[in-house]
Amino acid sequence: MNTITHSIGTNPVGAGFEAMRHAMVASQLRTNAVNDQRVVAAMARVPREEFLPAEVRDLAYRDTAIPLGAGRSANLPMATGRLLTEAYLTATDRVLLIGAATGYTAAPIS
């Protein structure tokens, strides 16, 4: 059993989430034109699971939208990465996120 599968099943905290986060960067971001290294580094650093309700944290790094209830969902990690890459943000830019379901999209740019 590999580390990622094992951590989803029995230990979805700490090192398990970190391994899943790095796998997400390698398999979802780098393969889908998320090529701004600042975005890649930020998404590798920010713990997405901390922005999700406890009952769906195990899904934090899956390549799928995560239902949050009330018709809302958290974007796929790849979609967030592409959004941030295509925004071409600089250190002096100000960003207003409207409809940000969990706040995760703001974390990599703060």
List the chain pLDDT tens, one digit each, 110 residues. 333 433 344 444 567 999 999 999 999 999 999 999 999 999 999 999 999 999 999 999 999 999 998 888 999 999 999 999 999 999 899 998 887 778 899 998 88
User: How many angstroms separate the Cα of 108 from the Cα of each of 8, 39, 83, 92, 103?
Assistant: 24, 7, 12, 15, 10
The CATH fold assigned to 3-109 is: Rossmann fold (3.40.50)
| Bridge partners, 66 (sequence order) | 74
Angle between helices 37-45 and 77-86 (to 10 degrees): 140
pLDDT of residue 12: 47
| DSSP, residue by residue, the chain | --HHHHHHHH--STHHHHHHHHHHIIIIITTTT---HHHHHHHHHS-GGGGS-GGGGGGTTSSS-EEEETTEEEPPHHHHHHHHHHTT--TT-----SS-SSSGGGGGG-
